[in-house]
Structure 1
Amino acid sequence: MTDLPPETVISLTDLGLSLDGNAGRVDILRGISLNVMRGETIGLVGPSGSGKSSLLMLLGGLELATAGTVNVLGRNLTDMNEDALARFRRDHMGVVFQSFHLIPTMTALENVATPLELAGHADAFDRAREELQAVGLGARLDHFPSQMSGGEQQRVALARAAAPRPQIFLADEPTGNLDGATGEAIMDLLMGLRDRHGATMILVTHAPELAQRCDRVIRLRDGALDLDEAQDAS
């Protein structure tokens, strides 16, 4: 990896993921090589079952590759154990899922501040308040998830992902559970967070309008890079 340009944030080399099931071994991802530059926004698109979410899981160290390497910020994630991956993700990444994964017994402010407290940030609540205000929830700090709409809950999830000031944002169908107007607002917020924090962003999406706002679109098909995208993969 020493010959990579210094602005390379993510480098995948011949990446593969295979799982053993009742019907035998299944190749989820195969032969994926891809470089992502600092500050770049990548849209991962493709049919359902093409491996988009699995690739995002590998990028976040939430799943381990069975072949190849995942190099993120100069670290080979395939060489790290679960605890090291959790620390790396905490310190460098913000992750947003289609489901909001908020703690129902905590307020919006507590949902954003608690991970910061656990990471040792003395200004956890001040930083959480700032991020919630940035996504338009300054008046909802003390509300619980059950008191908020789906769009508001996703805004809390975005604030939680942004609060550690990560170098990389990973988002898996961030507008998938939202209606069109709310999804559009979340897209605007995502791009605003990217610009405000100068982060690299990888988005899995079925929404063409979100993919069009990315710097580059990578298409997966049957667990591999679409041949039409090969020229963009390095």
Structure 2
Amino acid sequence: MTTPVLSLRDVRLTLGNNAGRTEILKGIDLNVTAGETIGLTGPSGSGKSSLLMLMGGLDQATGGTVQALGQDLGAMNEDRLARFRRDHMGVVFQSFHLIPTMTALENVATPLELAGVSDAFDRATQELEAVGLSHRLHHYPSQMSGGEQQRVALARAAAPRPEILLADEPTGNLDGTTGAAIMDLLFGLRDRHGSTLILVTHAPELAERCDRVVHIQDGRLA
């Protein structure tokens, strides 16, 4: 039997203190296999983004276990988690999270350099060309449109050729046409690198493109 790329068992997330605790996730069980594309859907506040952050080790579960590539994320400290993400995961956020003082090329090359990739700038150039930004290599985020910034973020996430790609509402800040183009690119990067893709989306047309849709309602799988 193939080991799941991601395996969640009775995962719970509670925020707040004793004066006011809020249960965000209430016992999530989920397996994701290699190469699968999962769409996480559900109303605002249902826990979709929180679940994605737990999968990426960006938040810690308050109960249950989250395993990625056979490793227990809950057993890792911040440094180990950062190295694990660097080596195995790509994350795309709704708000891009580019470094404003770096060019597009530098934004994509920096994580590769940190990972010790010898041809970091060559690979970064290739990834930016793959998302249609060969003419924007030396532009800063403030000189680019929202769609162009999201393309840089996609290139940065895909450049290390991660086994797992996580995307949190990657088209949320974009108009419909630009958002559709970004999703085409994201699925193209998945195919090119053979990554497992998990994306949070409110858009039914995007969910329909996934192999499986996981609907979350009030912190539980519906």
Residue 173 of structure 2: SS of its match in structure 1?
coil
Q: Distance in 1 between matches of 2:17 and 2:181?
A: 40
RMSD over aligned Cα atoms: 0.9
- Give the counterpart of 2:85 among 71, 80, 89: 89
Q: What displacement does 1:84 show?
A: 0.6
Say yes or no: does 1:65 pair with 2:61. Answer: yes
* 1:36 corresponds to: 32
- Aligned residue identity for 1:70: V
Please say if residues 90 and 157 of structure 2, whose CA atoms lie closer than 8 Å, have aligned partners that are also in contact. Answer: yes
* 1:104 corresponds to: 100
* 2:12 corresponds to: 16
Which whole-Å deviations, capped at 9, do the CAs of 1:185-222 have from their partners, x for residues lacking one?
00100100000000000000011111111000000000
- Aligned residue identity for 2:154: L
* 1:165 corresponds to: 161
* 1:80 corresponds to: 76
* 1:150 corresponds to: 146
Q: What displacement does 1:22 show?
A: 7.5
Q: Which moved more, 1:13-22 or 1:123-132?
A: 13-22
Q: Distance in 2 between matches of 1:211 and 1:194?
A: 15
* 1:51 corresponds to: 47
* 1:222 corresponds to: 218
- Aligned residue identity for 1:96: V
* 1:184 corresponds to: 180
* 2:130 corresponds to: 134
4+ residue runs over 2 A deviation: none
Gaps of 5+ in 2: none
Q: Distance in 1 between matches of 2:86 and 2:2?
A: 22
Q: Distance in 2 between matches of 1:23 and 1:214?
A: 40
Say yes or no: does 1:113 pair with 2:76. Answer: no
Q: What displacement does 1:6 show?
A: 2.1
Q: What displacement does 1:24 show?
A: 1.5
Please say if residues 105 and 121 of structure 2, whose CA atoms lie closer than 8 Å, have aligned partners that are also in contact. Answer: yes
Q: Distance in 1 between matches of 2:169 and 2:3?
A: 26
* 1:122 corresponds to: 118
After TM superposition, the score normalised by the length of structure 2 is 0.98
- Aligned residue identity for 2:15: L
- Aligned residue identity for 1:141: L
Q: Distance in 1 between matches of 2:57 and 2:9?
A: 15
Gaps of 5+ in 1: 227-234
- Give the counterpart of 2:198 among 191, 195, 202: 202
Q: Distance in 1 between matches of 2:97 and 2:71?
A: 27
Q: What displacement does 1:20 show?
A: 1.8
After TM superposition, the score normalised by the length of structure 1 is 0.93
Q: Distance in 1 between matches of 2:220 and 2:80?
A: 28
Number of residue equivalences: 222
